[in-house]
Amino acid sequence: MEKKLNEVVVIDGVRTAFGKAGEKGIFWKTRADDLAVALLRALIQRNPKVLPDRIEDSIWGVTNQVKEQGGTLGRSVPMLADWGWEVPGCSIDRMCASGLTAIGFGVGYIATGMADCLLTGGVEHMGHVPMGFMRDPHPLSEAVMGGPSAFNMGMTAENIHARFPEFTREKADRYALSSQKKADSAIQAGKMKQMIVPVEVERADGTRVVIEKDQQPRPETSMESLAGLKSVFKENGQVTAGNASGLNDGAGAVVLMSEKKAEALGLEPKMRWVATAVAAVDPTIMGTAPVPATLKALDKAGLTMGDLGVIEINEAFAVQALYCLDRLGLGEEDPRVNIWGGSLAFGHPLAASGPRLVTFLMNLFKENADARYGLTTMCVGRGQGYSIIWENMQR
């Protein structure tokens, strides 16, 4: 029996502001699941035709599924958002690409006819549930993954510097500065307002405040200030707090639908899924994996890098972004790449970053009508890359 795939479209994407992890963070007194709930409420308000009872599953990426992030967060957040008992849910872990994988799995679900309307998202409160918290790696893991550096993301970035010395500290700092400057221009131009859901939180002194701005960006960054920072993961290394993404708290969510359902409801979808690919590499240089993942996705789509008008690559570390851009044939200043800046400026609350990239792309497509196709791609701890190619429906 021959089966046809359904077209899958993005209806909307939102995120919270991204906070710094830790006691000085804007979300220190806010739970991860409450960040997700705020997005559910906003999505329904923004899209009156997307009713909770139309949502057939709530698929959430969460890297560390313990404490407030455990207990199948994807199932609990719809109930916490007062959507009732009828929305099923699950949680997915592919480390940094957990949220992008939630979207990718949601796409597959709809394409194969298992559902018509899904909520997908990602959340990480790195302040409450730090990276690696309560993990118990197998005694053989270091040996099979190429050594202890596979477990320290900063060291995987140092390894890229060491193995590919053409990507120097100066180039990494220049790239980080550019990310900060692009982010600042976008923030000043009000681009974040369309995607950030205001969240009311409690402050350390017990008073309440509405958070609607990212805490991580450092617009005052300069080459001089970056050059003055010491390496943090290795003595005399090249990875610093300035050319690494931060430790952050945040959430992002995306509504996916079959194109047929969107048409039936009279909705205006923002972009259409084209191809997804995941690939794996040596875990000690995990940041290089977006290259094979992207090449594989392009191959599936029958496209080339030249066909992509907007490119959203997660910046876990400047050096890995530089490596990927170079190996994908892009210059470090390619105008299609991270037009509004990236995770070096906004921060990287692991599972929340995938939905952030998709939400950025969705909004960038609106402003870049010439762009027919776009890419969202991320590297993942333990050596994976995840790429999704999308088609602009706002042209």
Ligand X SMILES: CC(C)(COP(=O)(O)OP(=O)(O)OC[C@H]1O[C@@H](n2cnc3c(N)ncnc32)[C@H](O)[C@@H]1OP(=O)(O)O)[C@@H](O)C(=O)NCCC(=O)NCCS
CA 36 to chain centre: 14
117 catalytic? Reply is no
Which residue number places its CB atom closest to ligand X? 153
In the complex, minimum distance from the CB of residue 43 to ligand X, in angstroms, rounded to a whole number: 27
Take residue 291 and report the two structure tokens written for it: 């290259």
Tell me which of 117, 128, 324, 379 is the catalytic residue.
Answer: 379
> And the tokens for 164?
């590919």
To ligand X, the closest distance from the beta carbon of 370 in angstroms equals 32
Q: Which one, 50 or 350, has the nearer CB to ligand X?
A: 350
Output the smallest distance, CB 303 to ligand X, in A. 27
The nearest distance, CB 244 to ligand X, in angstroms, is 4
Q: Interface with ligand X by CB under 6 A: which residues?
A: 96, 153-154, 180, 218, 221, 225-226, 229, 232, 241-242, 244-247, 316, 348, 381
Please answer whether residues 297 and 390 qualify as being in contact, where contact means their C-beta atoms are separated by less than 8 angstroms: no
Residue placing its CB nearer to ligand X in the complex, 162 or 229? 229
Known active-site residue 125:
no
In whole angstroms, how close is the CB of 180 to ligand X at the nearest point?
A: 6
Q: How far is the CB of 140 from ligand X (least distance, A)?
A: 22
Q: What is the rounded CA–CA span in Å between residue 366 and residue 306? A: 19
Q: How far is the CB of 153 from ligand X (least distance, A)?
A: 3
Active-site pick, 96, 125, 161, 324? 96
Tell me the closest approach of the beta carbon of residue 276 to ligand X, in angstroms.
20
Q: Which is nearer to ligand X, 25 or 78 (CB)?
A: 25
For residues 221 and 177, is the Cβ–Cβ distance under 8 A? Answer: yes
Catalytic residue, chosen from 125, 128, 161, 348, is 348
Please, which residue, 232 or 369, has the CB nearer to ligand X?
232
Distance of CA 142 to the CA centre of its chain: 27
Which CB, 178 or 392, lies closer to ligand X? 178
Q: Which is nearer to ligand X, 297 or 345 (CB)?
A: 345
Nearest residue to 8 (alpha-carbon basis) of 114, 101, 89, 122: 114
Tokens 């050096």, residue located: 319
**What HEC string does the chain produce?**
CCCCCCCEEEEEEEECCCEECCCCCCCCCCCHHHHHHHHHHHHHHHCCCCCHHHCCCEEEECCCCCHHHCCCHHHHHHHHCCCCCCCCEEEECECECHHHHHHHHHHHHHHCCCCCEEEEEEEEECCCCCCCCCCCCCCCHHHHHCCHHHHCHHHHHHHHHHHCCCCCHHHHHHHHHHHHHHHHHHHHCCCCCCCECCEEEECCCCCEEEECCCCCCCCCCCHHHHHCCCCCCCCCCCCCCCCECCCEEEEEEEEEEEHHHHHHCCCCCCEEEEEEEEEECCHHHHHHCHHHHHHHHHHHHCCCHHHEEEEEECCCEHHHHHHHHHHCCCCCCCCCECCCCCHHHHCCCHHHHHHHHHHHHHHHHHHCCCCCEEEEEEEECCCEEEEEEEEECCC
> Catalytic annotation on 161?
no
Residues labelled catalytic: 96, 348, 379
